[in-house]
Amino acid sequence: MADEVVKKKGAMSVSEAGRKGGQTVRDKYGHSFYEEIGRKGGETVKAERGRSFYEQIGKKGGDTVKAERGAGFYEAIGKKGGDAVKAERGTPFYEEIGKKGGHKVRQLIEEGKKAANEAKPLAAREQDVPSVGGEVLPAAREE
Protein backbone atom coordinates (compact mmCIF):
# COMPACT_ATOMS: atom_id res chain seq x y z
CA MET A 1 0.00 0.00 0.00
CA ALA A 2 2.94 2.34 0.54
CA ASP A 3 3.71 2.16 -3.19
CA GLU A 4 0.21 3.21 -4.19
CA VAL A 5 -0.23 6.79 -5.29
CA VAL A 6 -3.06 8.40 -3.38
CA LYS A 7 -4.71 11.17 -5.37
CA LYS A 8 -5.86 13.96 -3.15
CA LYS A 9 -9.04 15.78 -3.92
CA GLY A 10 -8.25 18.71 -6.20
CA ALA A 11 -4.78 17.42 -7.11
CA MET A 12 -3.96 17.03 -10.78
CA SER A 13 -1.30 15.22 -12.76
CA VAL A 14 1.60 16.97 -14.44
CA SER A 15 0.06 16.42 -17.86
CA GLU A 16 -3.27 17.85 -16.70
CA ALA A 17 -1.53 20.91 -15.26
CA GLY A 18 0.46 21.40 -18.46
CA ARG A 19 -2.65 21.12 -20.60
CA LYS A 20 -4.52 23.60 -18.40
CA GLY A 21 -1.61 26.05 -18.47
CA GLY A 22 -1.29 25.76 -22.23
CA GLN A 23 -4.99 26.48 -22.73
CA THR A 24 -4.75 29.51 -20.45
CA VAL A 25 -1.80 30.91 -22.43
CA ARG A 26 -3.60 30.21 -25.73
CA ASP A 27 -6.70 32.02 -24.51
CA LYS A 28 -4.67 34.98 -23.27
CA TYR A 29 -2.13 35.43 -26.12
CA GLY A 30 -3.62 33.56 -29.09
CA HIS A 31 -2.31 30.97 -31.53
CA SER A 32 0.21 33.36 -33.13
CA PHE A 33 2.09 33.54 -29.81
CA TYR A 34 3.02 29.86 -30.16
CA GLU A 35 4.14 30.42 -33.75
CA GLU A 36 6.38 33.29 -32.65
CA ILE A 37 8.02 31.47 -29.74
CA GLY A 38 8.46 28.36 -31.91
CA ARG A 39 10.25 30.40 -34.58
CA LYS A 40 12.46 32.08 -31.98
CA GLY A 41 13.28 28.72 -30.42
CA GLY A 42 14.14 27.28 -33.83
CA GLU A 43 16.46 30.19 -34.59
CA THR A 44 18.19 29.74 -31.23
CA VAL A 45 18.71 26.01 -31.81
CA LYS A 46 20.01 26.70 -35.33
CA ALA A 47 22.49 29.25 -33.94
CA GLU A 48 23.68 26.84 -31.24
CA ARG A 49 23.75 23.56 -33.16
CA GLY A 50 23.83 24.54 -36.83
CA ARG A 51 21.81 23.54 -39.84
CA SER A 52 23.23 20.02 -39.86
CA PHE A 53 21.35 19.32 -36.61
CA TYR A 54 18.03 19.81 -38.39
CA GLU A 55 19.20 17.64 -41.29
CA GLN A 56 20.17 14.93 -38.82
CA ILE A 57 16.90 14.93 -36.87
CA GLY A 58 14.90 15.20 -40.09
CA LYS A 59 16.58 12.11 -41.49
CA LYS A 60 16.07 10.28 -38.20
CA GLY A 61 12.36 11.15 -38.22
CA GLY A 62 12.02 10.22 -41.89
CA ASP A 63 13.68 6.86 -41.28
CA THR A 64 11.29 6.20 -38.39
CA VAL A 65 8.23 7.02 -40.52
CA LYS A 66 9.59 4.87 -43.36
CA ALA A 67 10.08 1.94 -40.95
CA GLU A 68 6.57 2.34 -39.48
CA ARG A 69 4.59 3.07 -42.65
CA GLY A 70 6.76 1.86 -45.51
CA ALA A 71 8.30 3.67 -48.46
CA GLY A 72 4.93 3.76 -50.27
CA PHE A 73 3.67 6.24 -47.68
CA TYR A 74 5.89 8.97 -49.14
CA GLU A 75 4.65 8.16 -52.63
CA ALA A 76 1.03 8.48 -51.48
CA ILE A 77 1.48 11.78 -49.67
CA GLY A 78 3.57 13.16 -52.55
CA LYS A 79 0.80 12.35 -55.02
CA LYS A 80 -1.81 13.84 -52.69
CA GLY A 81 0.22 17.05 -52.39
CA GLY A 82 0.86 17.21 -56.12
CA ASP A 83 -2.84 16.77 -56.87
CA ALA A 84 -3.69 19.55 -54.41
CA VAL A 85 -1.19 21.93 -56.06
CA LYS A 86 -2.48 20.98 -59.51
CA ALA A 87 -6.07 21.68 -58.44
CA GLU A 88 -5.09 25.02 -56.93
CA ARG A 89 -2.63 26.32 -59.53
CA GLY A 90 -3.28 24.29 -62.67
CA THR A 91 -1.04 22.50 -65.15
CA PRO A 92 0.69 25.68 -66.44
CA PHE A 93 2.30 26.06 -63.00
CA TYR A 94 4.21 22.79 -63.49
CA GLU A 95 5.29 23.87 -66.97
CA GLU A 96 6.60 27.15 -65.53
CA ILE A 97 8.57 25.59 -62.69
CA GLY A 98 9.89 22.91 -65.04
CA LYS A 99 11.34 25.57 -67.32
CA LYS A 100 12.84 27.41 -64.36
CA GLY A 101 14.39 24.18 -63.12
CA GLY A 102 15.82 23.40 -66.54
CA HIS A 103 17.34 26.87 -66.82
CA LYS A 104 18.83 26.54 -63.33
CA VAL A 105 20.37 23.16 -64.15
CA ARG A 106 21.86 24.54 -67.37
CA GLN A 107 23.30 27.52 -65.45
CA LEU A 108 24.80 25.25 -62.78
CA ILE A 109 26.41 23.02 -65.42
CA GLU A 110 27.95 26.06 -67.13
CA GLU A 111 29.26 27.39 -63.80
CA GLY A 112 30.73 23.97 -62.98
CA LYS A 113 32.50 23.75 -66.34
CA LYS A 114 33.85 27.28 -65.89
CA ALA A 115 35.13 26.51 -62.39
CA ALA A 116 36.74 23.27 -63.58
CA ASN A 117 38.39 25.07 -66.47
CA GLU A 118 39.70 27.81 -64.17
CA ALA A 119 41.15 25.17 -61.87
CA LYS A 120 43.27 23.75 -64.71
CA PRO A 121 46.86 24.95 -65.12
CA LEU A 122 47.24 27.78 -67.66
CA ALA A 123 49.13 25.61 -70.17
CA ALA A 124 46.31 23.04 -70.24
CA ARG A 125 43.66 25.77 -70.74
CA GLU A 126 45.47 27.23 -73.75
CA GLN A 127 45.18 23.88 -75.53
CA ASP A 128 41.40 23.73 -75.08
CA VAL A 129 39.21 24.91 -77.93
CA PRO A 130 35.47 25.70 -77.89
CA SER A 131 33.28 23.24 -79.80
CA VAL A 132 30.35 24.18 -82.04
CA GLY A 133 27.93 23.67 -79.12
CA GLY A 134 29.94 25.94 -76.84
CA GLU A 135 31.54 23.18 -74.79
CA VAL A 136 35.25 23.33 -74.21
CA LEU A 137 37.02 20.23 -75.51
CA PRO A 138 40.70 19.33 -75.43
CA ALA A 139 42.52 20.31 -78.62
CA ALA A 140 43.36 17.56 -81.08
CA ARG A 141 47.01 16.59 -80.76
CA GLU A 142 49.21 16.23 -83.78
CA GLU A 143 51.52 13.25 -83.81
**C-alpha pair distances (Å), 105 with each of 61, 82, 95, 121:** 30, 22, 15, 27
Give strand pairing partners of 136: 130
Q: Which residues contact 33 (CB under 8 A, 6 or more apart)?
A: 25, 26
pLDDT band for 136, please (50, 70, 90 cuts). Answer: low
pLDDT per residue as tens digits for the range 55-96? 999 999 999 999 999 989 999 999 999 999 999 999 899 899
Is pTM beyond 0.85? Reply is no
Which pLDDT score is estimated for 134? 60
CA distance 96 to 141: 44
